[in-house]
Structure 1
């Protein structure tokens, strides 16, 4: 038979639990007096068993700096559910300067059941564990997580500094002061730190309540709040009779600012773990500040690039009555518009947008805008100009070092050329920018020109069209991507529906419908007064040159223009002679009276372009275009479907009568 060792085993278990276990075990009778406790734990905490045994639990727990939850204990004793993992705080005798956290679980202590009935409890047994380090580790992880979630939500330097304060008060510090360098606050790049330097730091964000006054925003804080020198990493600094945790805000050796954490009197002082925690939080904040600073600097550059100068309205006021709008948004979408005066009193309206936003897109926009302005001087048809611009866009892609088809720059662009003499509108479109017209009777023409492939994308041919518009037609052009949520045609038509309203009032209504970083042109077409135009048909024979020349000279004198009659006579004579000799009928001469120049145009049916020659001394001819280029301020050739127009502009010596 086996010997019954159960009593011996029970005694051994009890002795091990109460003499050697590192888990505190407290046994209470029904009066909540401590009758047995774990001796090993008490010894480690500097408390003798005699100080606790026989005392009421409320009085006994005060030794550990803990207020006993007597009501909750009574509830368990009276048949309530056990208490599990209840956290209580106190300052034990062995470490009175720090708050400790204990996990307490309480169960009823019952004798063995008799006849299946559960007897009433004899008392309570409580297990107590010091979980201070575990709780602190959880709090540190929670603070790191909260810092990464809440700091840097906006690309604003000062807002990021305030977010650092909001995250760390009051959990990590009673008061926090964040200061940034003067350069960072002005949007300039941070400088590399030099050992021993005392940078100029200005208070940017404060929070909490300290035992003393907190600095005002804008105040210079070094030396003083951060000590005589700024530490290289998180460090405890004694200043003004108290200890603060001071940490620099730096990235890759570049100083952006500093932060000072201070806990109120009576709170636990900062530990080594707190220094490591502060390093993690400030490193993340410094990265967010650098991102915000980079965004601020890029935004300044993009705004400067996007703020293109507008063309003087006086150059185009006889062709269109114009309103221009730009709705900024700070994303650098690369939208642009332009109004370019062309020979013959015509005007080119241009609206474009680089597809992908960013600083590089704004730079690409600037280069494309310059290319459009340069190509417009060649008197190209709108669809031919887009074909040349497509080549420029592809060249920009190659210059940026990107492979074929790998995220190349692409842009949409609409070009409309209005001739105030004939009322004809020539259009070409690449991409999906908004383009429609409202006629004087209120009818909407939303299909002026089809969508075409993007510049830098599919390439020519680009969609083009030609329309004869009555005077007073309102033309609306706006940069708009295919899926940017721009205004619908119906809302645009509603804004343009009242012909009696001016373009500026219409543009104000339409600008409110645009998404950010879009541009808008609203143009009311005009006609050049008939009194400013003179035109003569020219027979295809040299004998017709003299009568036409004299008629042109007489009309210039009638207009009273301040221009040399001999210059007009020579220019008309040479251009008409060239058309008769080398062109094809029908031939016509047209004079256009402008504010600052007289335009001479000779049209013929030949598609060939005249060639500027430099005749030799013995040649009898070949000097016609050379004479015109010398006398005129500008000259050129404009090709049309059924011929060409050679033009020359003669500047007026003063304002016309």
Structure 2
């Protein structure tokens, strides 16, 4: 390997020197003109230096063979020294050579230039002491461990503010290796340092952007999103942060457009300080526009803080708009004081990425907030029971909204004849459109109840309404694609009769006073908007004190209560409706609604009925009995009006109806209800009689004297009714 280097001197074939190197001059003490042309014995007459010698053939310029002479090992020492000199003088890596006492014995120019410390301040002094004044601590133990064990350490990051750039923190990647002699004994250590400040700053920016995308926008809440922005950026990006949102955004309204004229009203939505002792702006405070400059910035901007003409320090505030597609949601202001270096161009680009992500999350949160407000308004139903229904049932209602717009609803609707309708429904798609559909279906149910239809007929018409609503939205359901489920039940406290129809899989159970539970009093029916009628229906005669439990259907992906769980929760007839509702509610998923109703029967002092014989004289008898009953009850009505209405209804039944005929009077808080039941399917209708007609004025008289009138049908009977309002 040594022959790869120039020989000390070269001999020709006769043994005479033909070339003499500078190394040979230093080694033998003879100049070139004294050595060339002489023989080796003459040159070495005083004896060669100690050591081993190597002789080998080298290419010659004359074509004759020439021989080179090397001193063994001498050429490699020169090479090592040359390499070491090159590393110290030309390397871009900072180098410190320390002895066994960790004193600096040699440093290269790069190491001196990196830190701005003079070479005279380093050489001969403990390196730990030299750099302690620069803020570098905790490295002595690492250096001594390498010196004692010989195990090198690499990629140790050291952070401090060098003298050449005291305003900015620099990061150096250091490595420590032990120096040993030929026998392996430690001579000291060598420390290498590379300035990786730009790399670390770039990685820190990437980490911050990753945290921004991971942590901001975790909830669809405007104020929570603003707080998340502060939590992510303080203290890593700034010593303090203040997020101001427009008053419209905080109230859930549409954001203002970015304009050249003026600035919207801004309120503090979130603020944070790295120093707990620093004053914090109170959330909700109205902020002056000057905090963010003369006008709202359109891009991240640096603004001076403090009075440039005063004695206090002047710094920079980074202000950035929270805007999306020309809509301004607010502004954020960052400040750095003592712990972090001043903002720079890279920080402006980073802030732009932070506010862009936050503004998008605010837009999503605001859209959700606005939809939630609309859904809450649409999905509001009366939570108090009307007095007109309390004579027939006692109701407990439950609803636990989740904010997703479940599209569930319930209603307790008073019907003629002291009857009560119980309705529970569920639109099978969550969201604002489901709530809107729910509201329209609920309105349709209220309208259809005025027709006094049987429950299954009402669901058939509600099905047609559902299909029509889907068609208006341009998404008519395909076969097998459900839209809504609904259970409609009518309780008649006069007869103790329950008529119920069911579309879909709404929960419905009946608990009798003896504690027996019927979890399936009516079969499941097709869904509204899907297959359509006929819908499952059933009729039950129930004693007073029975309990009806209705709940909206389970949405796809949810699990409803099992039959055993439902029976266990309901098999306590001694519990009131409120207790039963509490027991069932925890079995239901959020957004499902629950109705628990305890049935009642009308007492004798509120209900009286007579059979009417099919004879003309029966009209006078019915009129007399009605007048007598009104007097006994002390009902505040005009007896003449009651006698006239009863007379016309009974006459109409005798003339156009069929036996058996029954007259029924029902007393309520608002009216005296007169009902006549007969077995003829013919429907009475209001008409205007001519002056010469002897009849045809009965229903016209009833419509004039009564608060309202109507007709409803059962399987083999019909009931014509009229309500005479009580005096105020």
Equivalent in the alignment of 2:4: 4
Select the structure of larger CA radius of gyration.
2
Equivalent in the alignment of 1:153: 218
Deviation string, structure 1 residues 271-300 (Cα, Å, up to 9, x no partner): 111111112112222222333333333323
- How much has 1:101 moved relative to structure 2? 0.6
SS of aligned partner of 1:316: helix
Equivalent in the alignment of 1:255: 328
Equivalent in the alignment of 1:226: 292
SS of aligned partner of 1:344: helix
Do the aligned residues in 2 keep the contact of 1:341 with 1:348 (CA within 8 Å)? Answer: yes
Which residue of the other structure, out of 169, 172, 176, is the alignment partner of 1:102?
172
Do the aligned residues in 2 keep the contact of 1:310 with 1:338 (CA within 8 Å)? Answer: no
Distance 2:525 2:406 in 1: 20
Distance 1:621 1:309 in 2: 45
Which residue of the other structure, out of 677, 683, 706, is the alignment partner of 1:632?
706
Equivalent in the alignment of 1:22: 92
Equivalent in the alignment of 1:579: 653
Equivalent in the alignment of 2:377: 304
Which residue of the other structure, out of 278, 282, 285, is the alignment partner of 1:216?
282
SS of aligned partner of 1:402: coil
- How much has 1:556 moved relative to structure 2? 4.2
Distance 2:245 2:481 in 1: 39
Deviation string, structure 1 residues 125-177 (Cα, Å, up to 9, x no partner): 43322111111111111111111211222233332222222211221112222
Distance 1:463 1:16 in 2: 97
Do the aligned residues in 1 keep the contact of 2:243 with 2:332 (CA within 8 Å)? Answer: yes
- How much has 1:380 moved relative to structure 2? 0.7
What residue ranges of structure 2 are gaps of 5+ in the alignment?
A: 6-74, 307-313
- Pair 205,594 (structure 1): closer, same or farther in 2 beyond 3 Å: closer
- How much has 1:199 moved relative to structure 2? 3.8
- Pair 232,538 (structure 1): closer, same or farther in 2 beyond 3 Å: same
Deviation larger for 215-224 or 162-171: 215-224
Which residue of the other structure, out of 161, 186, 194, is the alignment partner of 2:259?
194
TM-score normalized by structure 1?
0.88
What residue ranges of structure 1 are gaps of 5+ in the alignment?
A: 113-117
1:264-343 to structure 2, matched below 5 A, reads: 264-265=337-338, 267-310=340-383, 313-343=386-416
Deviation string, structure 1 residues 375-410 (Cα, Å, up to 9, x no partner): 011111111111111111222212222244399772
Do the aligned residues in 1 keep the contact of 2:216 with 2:361 (CA within 8 Å)? Answer: yes
Distance 1:175 1:559 in 2: 78
Do the aligned residues in 2 keep the contact of 1:63 with 1:92 (CA within 8 Å)? Answer: no
- Pair 40,76 (structure 1): closer, same or farther in 2 beyond 3 Å: closer
- How much has 1:494 moved relative to structure 2? 5.0
Deviation larger for 567-576 or 466-475: 567-576
- Pair 629,80 (structure 1): closer, same or farther in 2 beyond 3 Å: same
SS of aligned partner of 2:418: coil
Q: Which has the higher contact order (CA 8 A, sep 6+)?
A: 1
Do the aligned residues in 1 keep the contact of 2:519 with 2:563 (CA within 8 Å)? Answer: yes
SS of aligned partner of 2:207: helix
Which residue of the other structure, out of 360, 363, 366, is the alignment partner of 2:433?
360
Do the aligned residues in 2 keep the contact of 1:311 with 1:339 (CA within 8 Å)? Answer: no
TM-score normalized by structure 2?
0.80
Which residue of the other structure, out of 147, 155, 159, is the alignment partner of 1:85?
155
- How much has 1:583 moved relative to structure 2? 3.5
Distance 2:261 2:449 in 1: 59
Equivalent in the alignment of 1:239: 305
1:362-511 to structure 2, matched below 5 A, reads: 362-405=435-478, 410-481=483-554, 484-485=558-559, 490=564, 492-493=566-567, 496-511=570-585
1:32-51 to structure 2, matched below 5 A, reads: 32-34=102-104, 37-39=107-109
Which residue of the other structure, out of 250, 263, 283, is the alignment partner of 1:185?
250
Distance 1:139 1:407 in 2: 54
- Pair 574,60 (structure 1): closer, same or farther in 2 beyond 3 Å: same
Deviation larger for 83-92 or 510-519: 510-519
Do the aligned residues in 2 keep the contact of 1:586 with 1:605 (CA within 8 Å)? Answer: yes
Aligned length: 649
SS of aligned partner of 1:528: coil
Deviation string, structure 1 residues 78-102 (Cα, Å, up to 9, x no partner): 3332111111123334323211111
Deviation larger for 517-526 or 139-148: 517-526
- How much has 1:508 moved relative to structure 2? 4.5
Distance 2:383 2:273 in 1: 50
Do the aligned residues in 1 keep the contact of 2:392 with 2:602 (CA within 8 Å)? Answer: yes
Distance 2:335 2:445 in 1: 60
Which residue of the other structure, out of 646, 669, 672, is the alignment partner of 1:598?
672
- Pair 581,16 (structure 1): closer, same or farther in 2 beyond 3 Å: farther
Do the aligned residues in 1 keep the contact of 2:467 with 2:476 (CA within 8 Å)? Answer: no
- How much has 1:514 moved relative to structure 2? 4.3
Equivalent in the alignment of 1:530: 604
Deviation larger for 44-53 or 171-180: 44-53
Deviation string, structure 1 residues 416-471 (Cα, Å, up to 9, x no partner): 11111110111112222222222222222222222223222332222211111011
Deviation larger for 398-407 or 352-361: 398-407
SS of aligned partner of 2:649: helix
Do the aligned residues in 1 keep the contact of 2:415 with 2:421 (CA within 8 Å)? Answer: yes
Equivalent in the alignment of 1:129: 194
Distance 2:370 2:500 in 1: 38
Do the aligned residues in 2 keep the contact of 1:236 with 1:246 (CA within 8 Å)? Answer: yes
Distance 1:33 1:69 in 2: 14
- How much has 1:415 moved relative to structure 2? 1.4
- Pair 613,91 (structure 1): closer, same or farther in 2 beyond 3 Å: same
Distance 1:107 1:311 in 2: 82
Deviation larger for 499-508 or 349-358: 499-508
Equivalent in the alignment of 1:115: none
Distance 2:383 2:242 in 1: 46
Equivalent in the alignment of 1:346: 419
- Pair 218,554 (structure 1): closer, same or farther in 2 beyond 3 Å: closer
- Pair 382,73 (structure 1): closer, same or farther in 2 beyond 3 Å: same
Do the aligned residues in 2 keep the contact of 1:602 with 1:645 (CA within 8 Å)? Answer: yes
Equivalent in the alignment of 1:169: 234
Distance 1:317 1:438 in 2: 19
